[in-house]
Amino acid sequence: MAIQPIRLFGDPVLRRPALEVVDFDKELRTLVADLTETMLEAPGAGLAAPQIGVGLRVFTWHVDGEVGHLVNPDLTLSEEVQDGDEGCLSLPGLTYDCRRALSVVARGWDMHGEPLVVEGSELLARAIQHETDHLDGVLFIDRLDTAARKAAMKEIRESEWFGLERPQVKVSPHATRGLGL
């Protein structure tokens, strides 16, 4: 287990759709451990593999004292919606009101390849939707209305971290699996 650098807005890995996990092995368990440790250290309510530079469909969450993870998620969203503050570890310091489904049923697998169903509402539903978006190359600012998105982009450009050199991380075995490398 190791705390990994979190990739910031502007890093291309955050905009690439992640690949399905096909091997439920020790490397995947290490990735889940790294995601969990990094998320808890940050601290955050969730963290997706692309945020640490790994293009695989895996995320972790920490909501209401519960820590969990999901591999290859497939979501069913409620029609009822919620509005609420949302932020992102890849966009430090930004918080904007974002509309999400009020509840979610997420189906996928755990790190051992066992089927997993996670049902949640409010903050857990928001976290699961946010992290699944990361796996699709979508950031929460993409879901804001035009005025809020424009304000967020202005805030990003004026932030202390924007334009800083991205962390140089050695390529992990997680990052190359499934890419033919």
DSSP states of the chain? ----PPPPTT-GGGGSPPBPP---SHHHHHHHHHHHHHHHHTT-SEEEGGGGT--BSEEEEEETTEEEEEEEEEEEE-SSEEEEEEEETTEEEEEEEEEEESEEEEEEE-TTS-EEEEEEEHHHHHHHHHHHHHHTT--GGGGS-HHHHHHHHHHHHHSSSTTPPPP--PPPHHHHTTTT-
pLDDT digits (tens, 9 = 90+) for 72-103: 999 999 999 999 999 999 999 999 999 999 99
Task: Please give the model's pTM, rounded to 2 decimal places.
Answer: 0.88
**Known catalytic residue at 122:** no
Residue 165: which pLDDT band, with cuts at 50, 70 and 90? Answer: low
Catalytic residue among 37, 80, 86, 131: 131
